[in-house]
Amino acid sequence: MDTLDIKTIREDFPILKREVNGKPLVYLDNGATTQKPKAVIDAIINYYTDMNSNVHRGVHYLSQISTDAFEITRRKVQEFINAKHDYEIIITKGTTDSINLVASCYGQEFISNGDEIIISAMEHHSNIVPWQMICEAKGAILKVIPMTEHGELDMETYKSFLNPKTKIVAVNYVSNALGTINPVKEIIDLAHAQNIPVLIDAAQAVQHIKIDVQALDVDFLVFSGHKMYGPTGVGVLYGKEYWLNKMPPYQGGGDMIKDVTFEKTTYNELPFKFEAGTPNIEAGIALNAAIDYINRLGLDNIKKYEDDLLQYATEKLQEIKGLRIIGTAKEKSSVISFVVEGTHPYDIGVLLDKMGIAVRTGHHCAQPVMEQFHIPGTVRASLAVYNTKEEIDALVAGVNRAVAMLV
Coil vs helix vs strand at 202 = coil
CA distance 9 to 25: 16
Least separation in angstroms between residue 317's CB and ligand 7TS is 18
Query: Residue 188 half-sphere exposure, CB side, CA atoms within 13 Å?
Result: 19
Burial string for 178-189 (b: 16+ CB within 10 Å, else e) reads bbbbbbbeebbe
With respect to ligand 7TS, which residue has the nearer C-beta, 58 or 362? 362
Establish whether 105 is a catalytic residue: no
With respect to ligand 7TS, which residue has the nearer C-beta, 171 or 317? 171
Least separation in angstroms between residue 40's CB and ligand 7TS is 16
Site of interaction with ligand 7TS (CB under 6 A): 31-32, 94-96, 124, 126-127, 172, 176, 201, 203-204, 224, 360, 364-365
Least separation in angstroms between residue 400's CB and ligand 7TS is 25
Beta bridge partners of 89: 238
Cα dihedral across residues 340, 346, 347, 353: positive or negative: positive
Least separation in angstroms between residue 336's CB and ligand 7TS is 13
With respect to ligand 7TS, which residue has the nearer C-beta, 97 or 115? 97
| Strands, E assignment, 173-306 | 198-201, 220-224, 235-239, 257-260, 265-267
Q: Provide CB contacts within 8 A for 161, sequence distance 6+.
A: 116, 118, 143, 145
CA distance 92 to 263: 29
Helix, strand, coil abundance in the chain, percent, nearest 5: 45, 20, 35
Q: Which amino acid type is present at position 39? A: A
Least separation in angstroms between residue 327's CB and ligand 7TS is 13
Least separation in angstroms between residue 335's CB and ligand 7TS is 8
With respect to ligand 7TS, which residue has the nearer C-beta, 6 or 25? 25
Coil vs helix vs strand at 30 = coil
Q: How long, in residues, is the chain?
A: 407
| Strands, E assignment, 33-99 | 89-92
CA distance 21 to 28: 16
Q: Residue 195 region, left (φ>0) first, then alpha (ψ -120 to 50), else beta?
A: left
Query: Residue 203 half-sphere exposure, CB side, CA atoms within 13 Å?
Result: 28
Q: How many CB atoms lie within 10 A of CB 125?
A: 15
Residue nearest to ligand 7TS (CB): 176
Q: Which of 365, 379, 392, 402 is catalytic?
A: 365
Least separation in angstroms between residue 235's CB and ligand 7TS is 6
Q: Which residues are catalytic?
A: 365
